[in-house]
Amino acid sequence: MFPEVLEAVREVQLPLFAALLLLGAAAKASPRAAGTGVAVLLPERLRGPATLATCLLEAALAVALLTATGALGEAARLLTALMFAVSVVLLLAARRRDPEAGCGCFGGLSQAPIGWRTLTRASLLTVAALATVGLAPTGWQVAAEPTPVHGAVLGVQLLLLALLSPELREAAARVTTSEPCALREVSERSTTRRLRRSEVWRTNAKLMLKSEPEETWRHGCWRFLRYDGLRHGHRVDVVYAVRIGGPRRTGVRAVLVDRESGTVIASFGAVTTLDLQGPPRRLPPPREAARRNGAGGRGAAKPRTPAKALPGESGRGLPVDSGSGLPDDVRASDPAV
């Protein structure tokens, strides 16, 4: 009985390692995984290529564990064991260099600091990979003809891996907890992708002189991108506001601001009740502001609300109408183009 159980333990490792390596490779292929984990030990310019190389290696080993036989299969199993053994050493080095660094084993999901669970898991997987050396069947053959003993062994090992995997706790927290959009981490690449798919971008594309923004900044749930533009021979700032997260249909908003006078020329995008900070613009002179306030006190039109300074735009702001979420002297539904 014991030899049968031991043989089942060894055989189960082949499809299990293939699944783990494929999951790890898929997670590392995500843009968020670039430069995570033990890649912190490398110079910044090499972190992305190193993560991509690891992704390709894991995918190749997974395929070899499932299909390769003979010398190629043995080489794949030895290389898998060597990779996990090296990972233990690298995890220790990364932990010593940056105690808050995640292991990066499953890309951006492995953000918890490297601890005893992660190190124990990597050590046990090294031993398990060595146990597969010398087996006759391939991983695909084991998965195609499972026995009750295989199922029992696999269940116990999956439970052990779950206890040693901080990623599961991180994933459960993401599912059960709604993170405020103001605190959500969203890459600039994702924001740019959403912007360039929008109708607002296509409408203003011919005005912009460059394809890359002059500056970007974030305020709460919004990311702002300012582009250099030219309209009717006058230099303008094309400022886009893209909401962080939210559904894909979330509208992109934009304004055109004359660079010389600071006047809003046009506005694009849906009007909502959300408070949207305005684009860069100079505040009115003190005497002009006092004159407007005096006119408002004699029953004239309601003066503008005080300008709100944008993050990253020191000393400049744009009057914002709290009712529409857009500048008060322009409406999204009626662009002055």
Residue 307 has pLDDT above 80, yes or no: no
**Tens of pLDDT, residues 233-261:** 889 999 999 988 655 555 688 999 998 88
Q: Which amino acid is at 329?
A: D
**Tens of pLDDT, residues 111-139:** 788 889 999 999 999 999 999 999 989 99
Q: Give the three-state DSSP class for 331.
A: coil
Residues 294, 160: Cα–Cα separation, whole Å: 74
Phi, psi values for residue 224, rounded to 5°: -110, 140
**Of the ranges 92-101, 173-182, 262-271, 305-314, which one carries the lowest mean pLDDT score?**
305-314
**Which residue would you say has higher pLDDT here, 293 or 63?**
63
Phi, psi values for residue 75, rounded to 5°: -65, -40
Share of the chain above pLDDT 70, in %: 74
Work out the mean pLDDT of the chain and round it to a whole number. 79
**Of the ranges 109-113, 227-231, 329-333, which one carries the lowest mean pLDDT score?**
329-333
Residue 97 has pLDDT above 50, yes or no: yes
Phi/psi class of residue 117: alpha, beta or left (left: φ > 0; alpha: ψ in -120 to 50)?
alpha
Q: What is the pLDDT of residue 83?
A: 94
DSSP letter, residue 114: P
Query: What is the token pair recorded at 188?
Result: 């600039």
